[in-house]
Structure 1
Amino acid sequence: MALAFTLLRGKPAFYSVQFLWCTDGRERMGNDGVVAVEKALSLLDCFKPGAESQSLAMLSQASGMHKTTVYRLMNSLERMGYVVRAQSGNYSLGHRVLYLGKLYEQSFHLSTVVEPALHALAALTKESASYYVHDNGQRLCLFRAEPSEGLRETRLAGTMLPLDDTAISHVIRFWGLGEPIYDKPPALPLFTAGARDVHTAAFAVPIFGAGDKFMAALTLSGPASRLSVAHESGELDRPQLEAAADLSRKLGASVALCENIYGRG
């Protein structure tokens, strides 16, 4: 048990005494975190594609926090380099965010293997190629490559999306989380159109690594009208399966697993 003494304003001779129960070395908030930190980080989440620069009022509206609270938190983030404030008063993300993003990539040691594979697949199929991983109950687009031409679905690497009914989520849920959404392993690649957005569709296959452990979903995405035709013809199946087999082998998956999952080519 700890004692906290608070001086009553205007009455220096008197003190109020609060008894704070502290067990296992925990402070009053326990192990649930610090609210101020969570609020500050939630402000960083307000910056999105198309909303890279935001005013105090915009941040207040997006976060649901009072302007004075937003102002204080943004001052702290600015001092630490996580945001910068322009002369207009608008805020944008700072250099520390880029640094942490690059550090996050490097911590996986994946970019030098995955990104060339994505660029090659995007160039071959002329569709957007992505590498999605499971992250805290959601799917994270860790790497992405866009084709050089044609109509495409644009999304930034680092985008978080829910585990929904898309082919991408099904791969993560079935092979990654072991959810019994299929009675037996389905034919690959999985395909869904209009599951998240009526205008988009996606093909997805699982990627495996060392010890034949699931690592990610390799996806091709684009306009639903075009990919639905490709699904009927099967023209993208073999290129995606071959890319997945090659990438899985490079990440440490066994030849036997790759032949079983993706076929012999």
Structure 2
Amino acid sequence: MGNDGVIAVERALGLLDCFKLGKEKFSLAALATASGMHKTTVYRLMNSLERMGYVVRSDDGTYGLGHRLLYLGKLYEQSFHLSSVVEPVLFSLAAATKESASYYVLDNGKRLCLFRAEPSEGLRETRLAGTSLPLDNTAIGQVIRYWGLREPIFSEPPLIPFFASGPRDAHIAGFATPVFGPGEEFMAALALTGPASRLSVARETRELIAPQLRAASALSRRLGASVAFCERMYSPSEGR
């Protein structure tokens, strides 16, 4: 059997893809412009999507996403638990390096600590999962700004992992590496943080670089990035 697909279905899904954070409502004309489709085609497709509960039309004629997408999202959450993918990698990384390992995502213009694993012993920087912090010049902030927001903070592709000591707290330092998913889309920053005195020494000895690159590569592959991309992105020669 071929894999040609159905054009009408692809166009309807393409219309749903137009909705993004900050663009939750569209007029018919705006949807036509955003999708590149004729207004008549958009109108017919949106009528079908509305009948099925995938979009809703307000009294002013604008369209928004419908309840059916929430239902499918909940089904997806039940079939794929991000924590079951990320947390084992974090715990292994924290145990191997004896530093705090975290998984940060971009959330409403800030960096959100989604998952966290602490080493079992020793002086460490402690933070609860769910903590939200500004996108500053920490290693984590720079990774999210550069890969997540595409800020031109470097003139050429930088070496990874990033390292920063003291931007937020003079006594804290951290390494951070980007994590990618399907289509090599940026997903999160994988971080190792701890006392600046200890991590500055680790930066010189490079003892934490290889474990973090391996962990970031493993996470990216599990989240859907291609093997070839991960081998290229996280190879020690490319990474550092």
**TM-score exceeds 0.5:** yes
**Contact 2:100–2:193 under 8 Å retained in 1:** yes
Map residues 1-265 of structure 1 onto 2, 5 A cutoff: 106=77, 109-263=81-235
**Contact 2:178–2:188 under 8 Å retained in 1:** yes
**Contact 2:100–2:194 under 8 Å retained in 1:** yes
The CA deviation string for residues 224-243 of structure 1, in whole angstroms up to 9 with x for no partner, is 01000001111100010011
Give the Cα separation in 2 of the matches to 1:146 and 1:224. 16
The CA deviation string for residues 146-194 of structure 1, in whole angstroms up to 9 with x for no partner, is 0000000000000000000001011001111111001111111100000
Partner AA of 2:99 in structure 1: E
Partner AA of 2:162 in structure 1: L
Give the Cα separation in 2 of the matches to 1:109 and 1:136. 22
> If each structure's helix is expressed as a fraction of its own residues, which one has the higher value?
2
Secondary structure of 1:151's partner? coil
Bigger Rg, which one = 1
Q: In percent, how many aligned pairs have the same letter?
A: 68
Q: Quote the offset at 1:264 in angstroms.
A: 6.4
Give the Cα separation in 2 of the matches to 1:249 and 1:148. 27
Unaligned runs of 5+ in 2: 1-57, 61-73
Aligned to 1:51: none
Give the Cα separation in 1 of the matches to 2:157 and 2:95. 29
Q: Quote the offset at 1:109 in angstroms.
A: 2.5
Unaligned runs of 5+ in 1: 1-23, 27-102
The CA deviation string for residues 95-144 of structure 1, in whole angstroms up to 9 with x for no partner, is xxxxxxxx9xx577210000000000000000000000000100000000
Give the Cα separation in 2 of the matches to 1:184 and 1:114. 29
**Contact 2:213–2:236 under 8 Å retained in 1:** no
TM-score of the aligned structures, taking structure 1 as reference length: 0.59
Aligned to 1:46: none
TM-score of the aligned structures, taking structure 2 as reference length: 0.65
- Any runs of at least 4 consecutive aligned residues in structure 1 with deviations exceeding 6 A, and if so which? none
Count residues with an aligned counterpart.
Answer: 164
